[in-house]
Amino acid sequence: MNSKIEINMPKDVKYIIETLNNKGFKAYIVGGCVRDVLLDKAPTDWDIATDAQPQDVKLMFDKIIETGIKHGTVTAVINGCNYEITAFRAPSSVKNPSIKDDLGFRDFTINAIAYHPKEGIIDPYSGIEDLKKTVIRAVSSPEDRFHEDPLRMLRAVRLSSRLEFEIDKSVLSSIKRNCKLIERVSPERIRDELSKILTSDRPENLLVLKETGLLKYVLPEFDRCFKTEQNHPYHIYNVGMHTLKTVSHIESNLVLRWTMLFHDIGKPSVKSTDRNGIDHFYGHPEKSVHIAEKIMTRLRFDNKTINKVLRLIKHHDRRIEPHYKSVRKAVSIIGKDIFLDLLKVQEADKKGQNPQYLDESLETLGKVREIFFSLEKKGKILSLHDLALNGDDLIAMGFEQSREIGIILKELYNIVLDNPKMNTKEKLIEAVANLKSKYYKT
């Protein structure tokens, strides 16, 4: 990497810069896109900084979205792609800010690099040198940067996780001193940064949040898990460390990573110790569901994500025997849509426990998975919709539209699970006759 490097920008980005230049304005690509190109990574976004004001920019492009106009940002939509264009930022005392003034307002040196096709790299804070050193260092004073936007404390951990960089000691010290400032940040912004850390290649970097004090403000329920020991033959870590191990052992999927983070979060609330000194956590899945729902609501997750995470937590400790009947029943209770994900959750859970028992556990889960695929291939994975008898049939038989219909359908479903040959209309009608006196009074 050197300051003379040429960056091959997308055609639309070149068009934006040329359009601004032709109108007499300065314009540069800045921040993460420059950083990623210098690291031989493909940028996810291309951001442009300019001395033009939003009202000027709006006149230059056909389609503009006012995404953050109070912060000087508009989004140009070109060929279906969005490009953020932001006016130079600088102290209020600076009347005509330059690109160097703007870069001085950015969070970390590796994000304070700009590029123009004719001017080349602009790097006043030695960001390229820090890219070489793989270190995350603040632009000027970390105290100033974090007071401007406390979310930058979480962003430092996120960048460290994503890029596998170390965080400069001065940055870590400043986070420890200023961690309480994170309370000023909206739940949505905190959620997004936590999600990016969780789905990175280094999710165990959440431990940095613990060490710097941030965790007790963003996820206090998880913070106390590190104080909960697990004196049990199947465990060798406290609840917090066990959780981080499991997060690292599951694929980088948002739902699965959050599931692992929350799967045991109820353990501190239900811990008991028997007369032999062995710890137990009876009812922890249900407690974890309750706590996880409160956290995810607080962080304003969408309902679909909340629902799936909670279902996986609820069943994460369910024992499934490697037999056809047991697997078929488990699928009926858990749901076919999340069953394979649940097996991934259980596998990750086992990998965060005592390795002495791991091989046996993985063998069992492997057999359960094979049985599921076999049942699926044979069309023997059933849902209530697969019953040969439905609610309309029951109404035609004289039942009223009421909750009893659902109860009877569930009973019929359990009968078919035990004996798939019972799934014919004639046999189920006969079964209903035996259930009718139990659930329906004439």
| Average pLDDT by stretches of 10, the chain with 442 residues | 76 97 97 96 95 95 89 94 94 88 96 96 97 97 96 98 97 98 98 98 96 98 98 97 98 98 98 97 98 98 98 98 92 92 98 96 97 87 81 86 84 84 90 72 49
Residues contacting residue 118 through CB under 8 Å, at least 6 positions apart: none
pLDDT for the residue 247: 98
- Looking up tokens 């490697």, which residue turns up? 322
Residues contacting residue 11 through CB under 8 Å, at least 6 positions apart: none
Cβ count within 10 A of residue 58: 15
Contact by Cβ (8 Å): 282, 272: yes
Contact by Cβ (8 Å): 261, 198: yes
For 328, half-sphere exposure in the C-beta direction (CA atoms, 13 angstrom radius) is 21
Q: pTM for the complete prediction?
A: 0.88
pLDDT for the residue 120: 95
> What pairs with residue 114 in β-bridges?
30, 122
Tokens of 127: 């960001």
pLDDT for the residue 107: 96
How far apart (Å, rounded) are the C-alpha atoms in residues 255 and 311?
Answer: 11
pLDDT for the residue 1: 44
pLDDT for the residue 437: 63
